[in-house]
Amino acid sequence: MPTQPLRRCTYPNCRNRVKSGLCDIHRSEKGKQYDKLRGNAAQRGYNHRWRIYRSEYLKHNPLCTMCKDKGLLVPATVIDHIKPVKNGQSDPLFWRADNHQPLCRDCHSYKTREIDKRGYGT
């Protein structure tokens, strides 16, 4: 079966050949730039205090809310902010329990991408 020809990297003026998207050089550069703008988890407010809170919250809310609505019993692994938080712990919605819901990783990814319309890497 023939293979598909390689295409040019989608980064402007780059001549590297790839199967699709960005080459390794520009993919890592874009990721580094995004990480600098976004900050690490601790800078966004997900520090030791949050990890303790997360552990207790998931202990009391062990099942994914979205899966439960579909009749499935799937363990929750993530606390989702129902209304997205912009400025970490300085945002008034960050610590409000009524703005939290337990989700599994797959449902959280779906919600972030489709419902919050934030996509990945944005």
For residue 118, the model assigns a pLDDT of: 66
Instruction: Determine the pLDDT at residue 30.
Output: 64
Q: Which residues pair with 8 in a beta bridge?
A: 17
Give the Cα separation of 77 and 32 in Å (integer).
27
What is the mean pLDDT for each group of 10 consecutive residues in the chain (122 residues)?
Answer: 79 83 77 67 86 96 96 96 86 92 94 75 45
CA–CA gap between residue 41 and residue 49 (Å, rounded): 12
